[in-house]
Amino acid sequence: MNAWASVWRSLGCAVVFTMFSACALAQTPLTPTEALSYRRVADLHFSPDGSKLAYLVYSYPQDWLPQLWLLDVATGDARNLTPSKKAERAPQFSPDGKTLAFLSNRDGKTQVYTMPVDGTAPVALTARKYGVQSFHWSPDGRTIAYLAKDDAAPAPDSGPQIADDAGNLAHLWLVDIAPKSTHSLGTQGYEIDEFQWLDPTRLLVRATDRPRVEEFMDAVYSLSTMDGTFRLVSRPPQPFDALRVSPDGKQYSVSSTSTNGPDPRDVFVGTVDRDDLRDITRPLDRAVEELRWIAPATIWIRVADGFYNRIYRVAPDNKPEAIALPLSVDSFDVSRDGVMAFAGGDFNHLPEIYLRSADGSIRQLTHVQQGWDGVRLASTTLFHTKSFDGTDIEAALMKPPVLRPHDKLPLVLIVHGGPSSNFTAGYGWEEAWAQMLVSHGYAALLVNPRGSGGYSEDFAKANRGDWGGADYKDLMAVLDAVIAKGGIDRDRLGIGGWSYGGEMSEWAVTQTNRFKAAVVGAGVFDQQAEFETEDCPQCDEWYFGNPWENREMFARNSPATFIRNAHTPTLIFDGEDDESNPVGQSKGLYRALKHFGVETEMVLYPGEGHSPRKMSYNVDMFERILAWYDGHLGNGR
């Protein structure tokens, strides 16, 4: 950590990070609206000459719709290209850098738009009935390939819907920029998830030829743009994703795992015409979250390393080299001359874009956050605790900035989603939840239990078939350690989380009565019922198998099995259109708690999926969360 601390000191807190500094004045309590008014920066892309930077900005005031921004690197001037309440994403510069293409729904369905970087108004390049899913420029800039359903596909509201109808599969199409002609590559029978150009006559695709099978069955194929012929290139270990092609078109990479699950985490590199796919990041033993391939012999990666996301430079045959940066990195890109742009933040700094020159010097490039001047974020301490079996568990404890002597704080244990996600040093939705509570006089505890990403592959696999077992014990071990240090009121403890975090909150109230209030967002109540109705059953199969052959395991890992033990007042949230953990899971929990006489409320949000995006709904959630804890933990602030 000394190297990172040294870089931080070299920047100078008072000079570079004037906003959101740990030295800022104390604040009044954050309202839900204020806590949710942050902006997230993502998907950074340099123009080929490095003079322009395209990126996305997400914010709840814009209902989490991605807004496309274009920035002049020399002047720092940035402009938002996206009309209000519209969504634009996937920015890509043409190979000559003169044109920016992106996906936009500004005129209805999502289409490919192009615009000269000099500022001329964007024009639609496609007009698909059901919109476009993804696209890529050809290496010569003359053609764009895109993935979209056929206009003749059955409409979702046109009558009886046939499950696994092949007519609903998206196909690859080519559109010539001039004279704007379009034709299909005829990819019927394949479900295509990703594609990249190898050269002007070939695409590399991640696809399966068995689209009805709900298992990870993808392979890498070469696809001729001349006659639509597929040729098998490789079958990487499952699951895999993040298909990329080297700048010279001779190599490719995927994110995969040498031990077949649970998630892709290592970078595998192979030669297109050879069977030589190999893991080049295994020595790091950390999950790779993002990759940029700027030169044929050099790959840049963003790696989850505990609470911080680091950048490494990797030559396929050499040891990965760490790039010293003072902040946790949310997204990045590297220009051809070695200049890096990165979106960075930590517990004391909201996300901004910074520029790292080839000589290592760093300067702030943007000021995307608005209205946070003078706000002091929570005092946060990272620490490690030995769990029940000696496993090292990392956590973060947030406390109010000003404490009276002998104060004992109410504490809320917030559990992250996943399970293979992890808390990071930054400001996102879960951290906004924590920051709001802390500003109202609570302590907030954020733990990365076994099964979390950001640590070794063995650590990520350690909760296989055991959700609510050792991972739950990790949470309790860290909580006990915090209480033992003093300053926490053991009689005013709360718990909460979303998705897996919601499920673990459900689980906790069936195992202990130590929590006086729980908040459950979009959790799983019955593992079998969820498996049979969710949109990605194969995502859970690595953990549990399937319920028809492993019924006892599914029951053992379900809060529903132990719900009669629950006594904790529980507030439940979900989106009515949740497909990840379908809303029936929340309804089942609510009905069971009512049956056993446990105080409970359930709030459902129309038109929302697994993670509600509307600002008004999120403010409503935060208001209810704060009132729920205040009402049951007796917080007198």
Note the pLDDT tens digit of each residue in 334-384.
Answer: 999 999 999 999 999 999 999 999 999 999 999 999 889 888 889 899 999
Low-confidence ranges of the chain (pLDDT < 50): 1-26, 637
Number of domains forming the structure of the chain: 1
pLDDT of residue 11: 38
> In this structure, is residue 306 part of a structural domain?
no
What DSSP string runs through 542-562?
HHH--TTT-HHHHHHT-GGGG
Q: Which tokens hold the place of 387?
A: 């769990």
pLDDT of residue 179: 80
Q: Are strands 362-364 and 123-124 parallel, antiparallel or unpaired?
A: unpaired
Angle at the Cα of 330 from the Cα atoms of 605 and 84, rounded to 5 degrees:
50
Beta bridge partners of 237: none
pLDDT of residue 260: 79
CA atoms of 206 and 210, how far apart (whole Å): 13
CA atoms of 583 and 524, how far apart (whole Å): 9
Burial class (CB in 10 A: 0-12, 13-18, 19+), 458: exposed
Question: What is the residue type of 392?
Answer: D
Question: Within the chain, how many helices (H) and strands (E) appear?
Answer: 12, 36
Q: Which tokens hold the place of 524?
A: 């799983």
pLDDT in tens, 241-268: 999 999 999 999 999 998 777 899 999 9
pLDDT of residue 636: 52
> In this structure, is residue 397 part of a structural domain?
yes
Task: Read off φ and ψ for residue 311, nearest 5 degrees.
Answer: -110, 135
Beta-carbon count within 10 A of 98 CB? 13
> In this structure, is residue 330 part of a structural domain?
no
Residue 168, classed as helix, strand or coil, is: helix
> In this structure, is residue 244 part of a structural domain?
no
Please give the sequence-ordered ranges of beta strands (E in DSSP) within 126-190, or none if there are none.
134-137, 143-149, 170-176, 182-184
> In this structure, is residue 568 part of a structural domain?
yes
CA atoms of 354 and 343, how far apart (whole Å): 6
Beta-carbon count within 10 A of 232 CB? 10
HEC profile for 43-99?
EEEECCCCCEEEEEEEEHHHCCCCEEEEEECCCCCEEECCCCCCCEEEEEECCCCCE
CA atoms of 627 and 631, how far apart (whole Å): 6
CATH number at residue 622: 3.40.50.1820
Beta bridge partners of 602: 572
> In this structure, is residue 166 part of a structural domain?
no
Residue 554 structural domain: 379-633
In eight-state DSSP terms, residue 564 is G
> In this structure, is residue 506 part of a structural domain?
yes
> Which residues lie below 8 Å from residue 87, measured CB to CB, with a gap of 6+?
65, 66, 67, 104, 105, 110
CA atoms of 626 and 637, how far apart (whole Å): 12
> In this structure, is residue 325 part of a structural domain?
no
pLDDT of residue 364: 96
Q: Pick the closest to residue 88 from 70, 73, 103 (CA basis).
A: 103
